[in-house]
Each structure stands twice: as structure tokens, then as C-alpha cells.
Amino acid sequence: MTATPIISVQHLTTAFGTHVVHQDLSLDIYPKEILALVGGSGSGKTTLLRQILGLDRPREGVVKVFGRPVHDYTGQDRIALTHRWGMLFQAGALFSALPVFDNIALPLRELHHLPESLIRDVVLMRLSWMGLTERDAGLMPSDLSGGMIKRVALARALALDPELLFLDEPTAGLDPQRADEFVELIRVLHRELGFTVVMVTHDLDTIGALASRVAVLAEKKVLVEGSLEAVMATKHPFIEAFFHSERGVRALGATAAKDVNHGKP
Ligand SMILES: Nc1ncnc2c1ncn2[C@@H]1O[C@H](COP(=O)(O)OP(=O)(O)OP(=O)(O)O)[C@@H](O)[C@H]1O
């Protein structure tokens, strides 16, 4: 790929005490792609995500976001950076004391300069993207189904129209039908809005349906990166155990169908 990376992880070494998690790990993420970060438990996916977000510092190496080391963004620059990305946490992480409307409005209100009429328009638009209605805006998080919580959390993550979206196990906790619907929603929104996605997931169906590239974390580094086909062709015990299951083969089938349709539904 010749495009300039939107995220560039360069020669990262991470250790907690004597426990080395990443050793000379490098990874570039390009505009508009959907990168799936895959690896065994404890391989350092969450830690890498936290370092990309600038929440943790590696022992060595640098993470550049939008061309600049993420730790160089401080003060107003850091706030502006956080407006350029959205994050969907595994459990949704909605504020339980706030209704749906206020949860989605939160990032818009934090800008401190938007009139309430505009905030309302943006929130209602985000709700409609998610297939939710104005009536849903008044519900409390405790009134929502698991699928709705994910949709509201996604609406909040996309409130500021970010260039980058981080997804942590986006379909965790959903039944297969709701998971498929949520994956389809992300696929359509990605196609329409063109943001870049970095997702951590163990779910092969999600990878097969969404990922344009897969990066496998193993042996303290990115062991292999590329299309799902390329990754599955790599001989490695983790890859064989993870991808060469019945579900892995099905995920590959979903990728083939996606390619035939040129990524369109
Ligand atoms: N703050 C910390 N202090 C000490 N050890 C940590 C800390 N954070 C992570 N680790 C260790 O680093 C390793 C990588 O953890 P991480 O959560 O990044 O893995 P993961 O790939 O996301 O795993 P999982 O798929 O199980 O969520 C683990 O061995 C974990 O115990």
C-alpha cells in the first residue's frame, strides 16, 4: 500500500516488570481500511490499543497518529485529537443515569460551542443512522436491549463524525442474529462515511464480514498481516487453532462473497 498511514506503530517494546508483551512490534494502519487485530489471550491487543490511544506509554518505540507521535498531543491538541476518533467499548459503557439522547449528545456538548438546536439535529441524525427513533432518545440505558445499547454506544462514538473508529469486541454479548445485524450496520456506515476502523475481535464471522486486513499478534509482534486468505495460509500453531476451525472456513466464505460483490452488500 502506498497511502500514508493514519496510524503508524514503530518498533514498540512493552513490558510490565520483566514480562515482555511486545518486542519490536511495528504496524501501519491506512485510511479507510478495516483492520482486525487478532491474537491469543494475553498477546497484548488491549495494551496495543491503549498505546495507540495514548493511554499507555511503551518502553521503547513510538506510535504516530495522523503523522505525529500520540504523546506529543497535549492540552488543546490532545482534546482536538480525541474529537477525531470514536471508541466503542465492549460493554457499550453508556452513562446509566443519562437517557439515550444525553449519552449521544455528550461529546457534542463537550465542545461547548454548539447551540442546543444543532445538537438535537445531530443526535436525531445519529439515531436514524442506527435505525432508532426519536422516541428511543428518551429511554434510559436500563430500558435497552443489548443490541440497542451497542447502537446507542456506536451513535455516541460517531457523534463528532470521527475519522477513526476503534471497536473492542463489537459483537460480544450479542446473539448471532443481533451480531449479524450490528456487523451489517457497521459495514454500511463504513461504506457511507469512509472512516478507518481498528477492531479487536475474537469473532471470526465479524472478521470475515468486515475486515479488509487482519493483523495477528503472536510471539510479541505482528506475526502476519494481510487478507484473511493470506493470514490463513500462514503456518503457525495459533493461526491453525484460531482460523482453521469450521467457523474460520465459513468466515473465509463470507470474505469471498464480499469480494465478488466488490465489498457492496
Ligand atoms: N497494567 C498492567 N500491569 C501488569 N501487567 C499487565 C498490565 N496490562 C496488561 N498486562 C499484561 O500484559 C499482557 C497483555 O495483556 P492484554 O490485556 O493487552 O492482552 P489481550 O491480548 O488484550 O488479552 P485478552 O484477549 O485476554 O483480552 C497480559 O499478560 C497482561 O496480564
> What is residue 244's predicted lDDT score, i.e. its pLDDT?
77
pLDDT digits (tens, 9 = 90+) for 228-243: 999 989 998 888 888 8
> What is residue 265's predicted lDDT score, i.e. its pLDDT?
39
Q: Are 258 and 251 spatial neighbours (Cβ–Cβ below 8 Å)?
A: no
The Cα–Cα gap between 230 and 239 comes to: 11
25 lines ligand 1 (CB under 6 A): no
* 94 C-alpha to ligand 1 centroid (Å): 24
238 lines ligand 1 (CB under 6 A): no
pLDDT digits (tens, 9 = 90+) for 133-178: 999 999 999 999 888 999 999 999 999 999 999 999 999 888 999 9
The Cα–Cα gap between 106 and 65 comes to: 24
14 lines ligand 1 (CB under 6 A): no
Which is the closest atom of ligand 1 to the Cα of 17?
Answer: 4
> What is residue 258's predicted lDDT score, i.e. its pLDDT?
59
44 lines ligand 1 (CB under 6 A): yes
Taking CA atoms only, the protein residue closest to ligand 1 atom 4 is: 16
Domain residues for the domain of 148 are 98-161
**DSSP H helical segments within the chain, as ranges?**
45-52, 75-82, 100-109, 116-129, 146-157, 176-193, 204-210, 228-232, 237-243, 246-260
- Enter the ipTM: 0.96
pTM of the model as a whole: 0.88
Does 129 reside within a domain? yes
Q: Which of 12, 43, 89 to mutate to test the pocket of ligand 1 (most atoms within 8 A of CB)?
A: 43
90 lines ligand 1 (CB under 6 A): no
39 lines ligand 1 (CB under 6 A): yes
Which is the closest atom of ligand 1 to the Cα of 39?
Answer: 21
Does 203 reside within a domain? no
Taking CA atoms only, the protein residue closest to ligand 1 atom 29 is: 42
Does 104 reside within a domain? yes
220 lines ligand 1 (CB under 6 A): no
Does 139 reside within a domain? yes
51 lines ligand 1 (CB under 6 A): no
47 lines ligand 1 (CB under 6 A): yes
> What is residue 264's predicted lDDT score, i.e. its pLDDT?
40
Does 150 reside within a domain? yes
Please list, in sequence order, all residues whose beta carbon lies within 8 angstroms of the beta carbon of residue 159, skipping any fewer than 6 positions away: 86, 104, 105, 106, 107, 108, 122, 123, 126
Does 263 reside within a domain? no
* 122 C-alpha to ligand 1 centroid (Å): 37
Into how many domains does the chain fold?
Answer: 1
Low-confidence ranges of the chain (pLDDT < 70): 1-2, 92, 246-265
> What is residue 262's predicted lDDT score, i.e. its pLDDT?
42
The Cα–Cα gap between 260 and 105 comes to: 39
Does 78 reside within a domain? no
Does 239 reside within a domain? no
